[in-house]
Amino acid sequence: MGLYTIMNLVEVDSTNSYVLRKLDTLPDRSVILAERQTAGHGRLSRKWASDVPQNIYMSLVLKPQKRARDYSYLKNLTQYMSIVFCEVLKNYNVEADLKWPNDVLIKGKKIAGLLGEAKFRNERFIGYVLGIGVNLNMDYQNLEDIDQPAISLNLLTGKNVDRDNFVSQLLERFFKGYPEFLHVGFPLIRKNYTERSTFLSKRITVVTFKETIIGTAIEFTVNGSLMLRTDDGREKILTVGDIVKIKK
Ligand code: BT5
């Protein structure tokens, strides 16, 4: 079933923060969409440029009912959304690459970022917030203010993009495949995710909380973790991290 409820906000600090504050009462499959965020953020308190309206600043409330008390699959929900997003982009004749774990790039320039945050209280699962920011209608000046190469869909298609139409396509597709994704997990998208991860088989540098690792990107495990082979021949499996360098 593709049912969901959208709430539109004119301005908010961050749609993810808003949802986290209200997660107890917001029903499953609520979607919060804002015109503007005053404190849009990525991981590790990094800023998400959110001043320009008619882009997507959106968070989904997800409260999956699973019997097993293993919540490791939650981190795969952003990966699933990134695949759904790439499929919608195809309708605009745009092909995107994925940069594990949560970036979507067009020819090396970032068009979208995803941020998943889970909330627990006394070990009880309250819910999961799946945030997505997409540049749909930015100009080059807006993009220059971002501290890494970025791009916006309108600059690729040559015309303004209807945000609400894009959002509908994204949400319809997301919720259509969502029950199956909950059931099957990352293996459902592993092939597609692998094909779009153009850094695989290249030498990359990954920064994690603990260390900086250089190695060859090998593949994704069935859990969506990244397997690397370091120069001394050891295999490393990473669940989070930032790919800071990809050797051509
Ligand atoms: C992300 O973080 O890419 C996740 C961004 C999630 C944003 C959404 S918007 C709705 C919801 N509410 C929120 O507050 N957040 C979510 P990360 O991997 O940490 O990347 C952050 C980096 O992306 C920044 O340090 C910049 O280099 C770059 N960046 C910032 N704004 C950008 C933009 N509009 N387009 C492309 N890149 C951007």
Q: What is the mean pLDDT of residues 151-164?
A: 98
Confidence band (pLDDT; 50, 70, 90) for 248?
confident
pLDDT at 84 over 80: yes
Largest Cα–Cα distance in the chain? 53
Residue 134 confidence (pLDDT): 98
Confidence band (pLDDT; 50, 70, 90) for 52?
very high
pLDDT digits (tens, 9 = 90+) for 204-246: 999 998 999 999 999 999 999 999 999 899 999 999 899 998 9
Residue 2 confidence (pLDDT): 64
The backbone torsions φ and ψ at residue 48, rounded to the nearest 5 degrees and listed phi first, read -110, 115
Element (H, E) at 159: none
Kind of pairing between the strands at 5-12 and 30-37? parallel
State the burial class of residue 96 (Cβ atoms within 10 Å of its Cβ: 0-12, 13-18, 19+).
buried
pLDDT at 1 over 60: no
Testing ligand 1's pocket by substitution, the residue of 48, 75, 141 carrying the most ligand atoms inside 8 A of its CB is 48
Q: Ligand 1 site: residues with CB under 6 angstroms?
A: 14-16, 37, 40-43, 46-49, 57-59, 102-103, 110, 113-115, 131-133, 135, 146-148, 150
Element (H, E) at 173: helix 163-184
* pLDDT mean across residues, the chain: 95
